[in-house]
Structure 1
């Protein structure tokens, strides 16, 4: 019971952060929604179904769960947001070694993310 409650609380926190991230450029949406889905899968299948059938978030999550891939649109947006947020951080940090560390982290993140398979989002599944 305690584990289920913790999973539900963490899932809802991730959903809220993901929704905020849809509007704020420095907060990523998709990773929070993936975490929320993982928490809901273990804590509440009903909430996981709700998240997977959501008109905006469902196709992205379903594409990831079924094919371990992202759509070209999601990939393009994520690349832009990563570069912009890291550029902002690099601009504001005063020490050169911080700037270099951020550049290396950005390069690694972009390399990893752009190796993910690309696939169009499938249409939402019809609930039973």
Structure 2
């Protein structure tokens, strides 16, 4: 019973990540590829057929394989992510949030952008 519950939870995570990634195709500020990577990772633990399908997918398969083998991120994805984080950082200043929250979010996104650009391509 425990094993089937764990498998079900891995599958649920994979499906949720896949749905979030699909939404990210249509919503510009929601990244697609990180959710697809999570879906493949969760699928490898509880749904091997989904993992195989994602690895063989014409659009997402190469990105998943590059990430798994070299931790690589395509330059185009780096630019999209940087632009999305910059836009989000600019938009957050319009919200009535405490200054420390606004600055903290921007610092975190800047750190993520630096990490991202240090990844191989």
Residue 91 of structure 1 deviates from its aligned partner by 2.7
Deviates more, 1:23-32 or 1:40-49: 23-32
Match of 1:54 in 2: 57
Task: Kindly report structure 1 stretches of 4+ aligned residues shifted beyond 4 Å.
Answer: none
SS of the residue corresponding to residue 22 of structure 1 reads helix
Unaligned runs of 5+ in 2: none
SS of the residue corresponding to residue 46 of structure 1 reads helix
How is 1:19-34 mapped onto 2 (pairs within 5 angstroms)?
19-34=22-37
Pair 1:80 & 2:93 matched: no
Residue 36 of structure 1 deviates from its aligned partner by 0.6
Deviations 1:66-113 (A, max 9, x none): 211011111111111111122212332443222222221122111111
Distance 1:90 1:30, change over 3 A: farther
TM-score (norm: length of structure 1): 0.83
Structure number with higher helix proportion: 2
How is 1:89-128 mapped onto 2 (pairs within 5 angstroms)?
89-118=92-121
RMSD over aligned Cα atoms: 1.4
Unaligned runs of 5+ in 1: 119-128
Residue 115 of structure 1 deviates from its aligned partner by 1.1
- Distance of 1:36 and 1:8 partners within structure 2: 9
Residue correspondences, number: 118
- Distance of 1:68 and 1:11 partners within structure 2: 20
Q: Which has the higher contact order (CA 8 A, sep 6+)?
A: 1
